[in-house]
Structure 1
Amino acid sequence: MRVLRVLDLVIPRRVRVDAVKDVSFQVNKGEIFGILGPNGSGKSTLVRLIATLLTPDSGTVTVFGQDVASDRLAVRRCINRVSVEAAFFKRLSALENLEYAARLYGLDAREGKRRAEAILERLGFPHKKVTVPLENLSRGMQQKVAIARALMTAPVALLLDEPTTGLDPVSKREVQDFVLEVRRTHDTTVILTTHDMQEAERLCDRIAVIHNGEFVAMDTPENLKASFGDGNGHTPTLEEAFFRLTGGNVEDWLREQGE
């Protein structure tokens, strides 16, 4: 079953430069679809459009057959989104933020608290921190709360825009495991943008590489790597394949990420 369909999408950035240019793809139910690209390549723009936060200049985007431009409310009922710019009530605790979200999702107070506590525990959130105001928590802990909020219900589709940015390696692994678990138990469809090649390779069924607003490749991680084999038995890493596709190198990549 097709969950997401993007056809001939164009999103203007400025008068003469497009943020996304003539992009077409589709994502099937239960698939984890990754989007890799340098900073400014159009990854987050694409996710924001799927989330109905932007309107395309031309082309169409549908989620479960609902158009993101003309059927925004219907689309929003189908998706949960996590971004690196998640908004919270900073003076409320992690638990209070999740309990508030639970009420918006239509859960009663008792069930909302139960789910919030269970998800925070599953994500490795320290129990002694659940009642601490978010403004006093680290960036990584706040990101875990954003992920927990998106998983309060059994989401049909998850939009994860760099979900593990700011997390330590253990926390990254916990989040990745939970994403796989949600897909396995609920057949959830996931759209993932990430800078982490290992994360993309571990989670994604297919990966699209976006560069200067255009998809330059789209395939399984294994096929992307194999397409750049040298014929002598050497299979490149996903990182090497990515650099070949985008014309970059390790030094440029680290500079773009501010490392």
Structure 2
Amino acid sequence: MTLTAPPQATSAPAAPPRDLSGRDVAIDVQHLVKAFRKRQGGTLLRPQFSESRAVDDVTFQVRRGEIYGVLGPNGSGKSTLIRAMSTLLIPDAGTVGIFGLDVVRDEAQVRRLLNRVSVDAAFYKKLSPRENLLYSAQLYGLDRHVAEERAQVTLKRLGLKEKAFFEPLEEMSRGMQQKVAIARAFLTSPVIVLLDEPTTGLDPKSRRDVQEFVLELRDVHDATIILTTHDMPEAERLCDRIAFISGGKFVAEGTAEELRGLVGEGKTLEDAFIELTGEGLAEEEGE
């Protein structure tokens, strides 16, 4: 019997390089810190706490029209970073600027510029996609007819059948619900989109539909996108630049080609991640 070596892992085709050097800075994160306190014993009247930094002195910039990927395992700080950028968490230190607006000082103005899609999107499950989306549109002051037309176009683009527009969400698959979450995020035509693991748990067809839609948003609508993911091929296909995050810190940043080059010829992006962070990636939900 002749034994042969297993085939070497190959990288997905990386996003072609794009010259964004002349573009405005859309997102400017400087020395961002967000910590949480956890109880570590003590008594009822004198509890003892320890502090853990979920985001630890993170600095980066994203230019208008760029897709910027943040790759890291569960618990690395990805979701906390997204929440701080989307005004859902107040930073303990540092700043987040969105087209020159501060996410704390100019919270109301920032919220009009961005929207967020998370892996755990919340809905009224007994209502249909149509009812959920029209309710969200009312919260943003969007015209009902404009919202309904925009929602139907987006859902069809994502592969949702027309009859599903009127069925209760609780009867839909996880993938279909996630497509509704993406449609809801784009009702208001945001210029900044924060995608927190938007394709986790989706079937291959749904994942591809979402990825194609993300590229279309960038190319047609000039949206600036932050994408957190576990999926190396997805990051290579979509992202202009990628940051590795581990223990709340950015360990490395660059194009997929630059990151692979940091660890040697013939290495994959996953090889680079493991060598630079000392961690592996797990395809699990949550943070």
- TM, length-normalised to structure 2: 0.83
- The aligned amino acid for 2:158 is L
Q: Quickly say closer, same or farther: Cα 1:254–1:109, change in 2 above 3 A.
A: closer
Q: Which has the higher contact order (CA 8 A, sep 6+)?
A: 2
Q: Does 1:44 align with 2:79?
A: yes
- The aligned amino acid for 1:19 is A
Contact 2:191/2:223 (<8 A) preserved? yes
- Partners of 1:254 and 1:77 lie apart in 2 by 34
- Unaligned stretches of 5+ residues in structure 2: 1-23, 38-49
**Structure 2 counterpart of 1:150, from 164, 177, 185:** 185
Aligned to 1:80: 115
**Structure 1 counterpart of 2:266, from 231, 235, 244:** 235
- The aligned amino acid for 1:168 is D
Equivalent pairs, count: 251
- TM, length-normalised to structure 1: 0.92
- Partners of 1:17 and 1:84 lie apart in 2 by 23
Q: Does 1:245 align with 2:276?
A: yes
Q: Which has the larger radius of gyration?
A: 2
Alpha-carbon RMSD? 1.6
Equivalences for residues 1-259 of structure 1 within 5 A: 1-14=24-37, 15-229=50-264, 234-249=265-280, 253-254=281-282
Greater fraction helix? 1
Q: Quickly say closer, same or farther: Cα 1:50–1:257, change in 2 above 3 A.
A: closer
Percentage identity across paired residues of the two chains: 59
- The aligned amino acid for 1:30 is G
Compute the displacement of 1:161 (Å): 0.3
Contact 1:4/1:62 (<8 A) preserved? yes
Q: Quickly say closer, same or farther: Cα 1:256–1:176, change in 2 above 3 A.
A: closer
Contact 1:82/1:159 (<8 A) preserved? yes
Contact 1:143/1:166 (<8 A) preserved? no
- Partners of 1:130 and 1:55 lie apart in 2 by 36
- Unaligned stretches of 5+ residues in structure 1: none
Contact 1:8/1:24 (<8 A) preserved? yes
Compute the displacement of 1:257 (Å): 6.7
Contact 1:32/1:204 (<8 A) preserved? yes
Q: Quickly say closer, same or farther: Cα 1:244–1:8, change in 2 above 3 A.
A: same
Compute the displacement of 1:111 (Å): 2.1
- Partners of 1:74 and 1:111 lie apart in 2 by 22
